[in-house]
Structure 1
Amino acid sequence: MQKEKARTIGQIVADNYQAAEVFNAFDMDFCCGGDRTVDEACQEVNINPNEVWQALKELETDGARQENYTEWSLDFLIDYIINNHHKFSREKLPEIGQYAKKVASVHGDRYPELQKIYYEFTKLHGDIINHLQKEEELLFPYVKRLVEAEKKGKQPKTPDFGKAANPISMMEHEHDQSGAAMEKIRELSDDFTPPDDACTTYRLLFENLEAFEKDLHKHVHLENNILFPKAIELEQSLNR
């Protein structure tokens, strides 16, 4: 148990993504804040760690099949991230933006927080699209070259950005910014809870925002806690 307690939240979720549901239930950040142990995270939010460990233990009896992303090759994981999470972001961001604009325009006078949500989401939209482009044009192709170099037993060519850790550091910082933006939107929307008199579009906006946040958490987790550290480790092993 002592060894288990030394593991970070990110490592725990990497081994079993069902653990994400436990950490979400206790309002513990497993993606951007995944570098903390369970006990450290519990202390920050004033939660009894024994309750969290008990909930995690109960997962062991759940026979539901979960993908073990840590066993995937890095090139396959990259394709999965692009084809699922990047595609989802590019499709949903404009749709949610339209909902946010319409709801803010119609109901913004009565519910001024909607104007703030629209502002925050518009900025988030632009930031995420730029982020995805940088990953797909700079970092991901290099990681795939590392995988190919390992297969051929060759040393990879040093990219213009130096080491993988350089763009990865920037990507992680941008992940933090996106997470903070979604947290602000969650606060402004009262945990995505529409008022009783909310129209259909109003409710659709909040439902989609919550779904986007959930996808973003998994997206960031796969990169921060699995892809990025494995890429750095692979690069180091090839350059020894």
Structure 2
Amino acid sequence: MATALSADTQVGVIVTHHPAAAAVFRHRRVDFCCNGRQTLATACAALSLDPEALLTEVLEAEARAEGGPAPRDWTQAPLGDLCAHIIATHHSYLRVELPRLALFIGKIAGVHGDEHPELAEIGRTFAALTADLEGHMAKEEQILFPMITSMETAAELNLSLPESHCGSVRNPIGQMEHEHEVAGGALRRMSELSDGYTVPEGGCATYRETYQRLHHFEGDLFQHIHLENNILHPRAAEFEASL
């Protein structure tokens, strides 16, 4: 699964073939999901990081992960399996966690909002992101993912491609990636407002749990977008072109 690493490798490709890089990049604020096509050198230049030192961190993280269960190689799995995994793992998580997080954010804003006015903006940003994600998931499940699985099924059965009102699969992919950019901007804004989800002095246990949940939510959405932008979408477009 692993592939050679260099400063000229795209960060999304690095995470695809070296999954341990995801935690390292996230810690260093390297955007491997919405901007996964940038090279490591470009990403590091923007963040004043040394690409060679970062590659060393990735290899060290990979060494620590050895011996554990190997993640599935989504670059080789059937596209339908990847769509099903995204729904079962990431969409299901969002449908449970989004309303829970809204309650947690509202609670700490009500108690601590006077001392921490940034909580109100975090709440507004999260509410807008929630509405966007709900519509986004519906479009994926009702339009894009069925298009992809239909292409795969048609190829397996040697049938003609089913017609779609969307035309090429690249059209809904373009829209989904635009919406990913919007979601990524919301994540960056909430992280900035919360100083990387750092609980301020005097923050209660609920404050701490809220920020822990938001931090986990951010990581899950990073992985979710990575799977789509850097694996599912390019594979689907390439598959369509090969038919």
| Equivalent residue for 1:46, pick from 30, 39, 48 | 48
Q: Deviations over 1:167-205 (max 9, x none)?
A: 111101111111110110111111111122112221121
Which structure 2 segments of 5+ residues have no match?
Answer: none
Q: Which residue of 2 aligns with 1:168?
A: 173
CA contact (8 A) 1:17 1:66 kept: no
| Equivalent residue for 1:153, pick from 152, 158, 166 | 158
Which structure 1 segments of 5+ residues have no match?
Answer: none
Aligned partner of residue 70 in structure 1, secondary structure: coil
Q: Which aligned pairs between 1:79-90 and structure 2 lie closer than 5 A? A: 79-90=84-95
Q: Which aligned pairs between 1:84-233 and structure 2 lie closer than 5 A? A: 84-233=89-238
CA contact (8 A) 2:7 2:52 kept: no
Q: Which residue of 1 aligns with 2:20?
A: 18
| Equivalent residue for 1:65, pick from 53, 57, 69 | 69
Distance 1:104 1:4 in 2: 44
Letter in 2 for 1:212: F
Q: Identity over the aligned pairs, expressed in percent? A: 37
Distance 1:183 1:236 in 2: 34
RMSD: 1.7
Aligned partner of residue 166 in structure 2, secondary structure: coil
Change in Cα spacing, 1:2 to 1:16, as seen in structure 2 (3 Å) is closer
**Scaled by the length of structure 1, what TM-score is found?**
0.94
Change in Cα spacing, 1:79 to 1:8, as seen in structure 2 (3 Å) is same
Q: Which residue of 1 aligns with 2:31?
A: 29
| Equivalent residue for 2:242, pick from 223, 226, 237 | 237
**Scaled by the length of structure 2, what TM-score is found?**
0.93
Aligned partner of residue 78 in structure 1, secondary structure: helix
Aligned length: 238
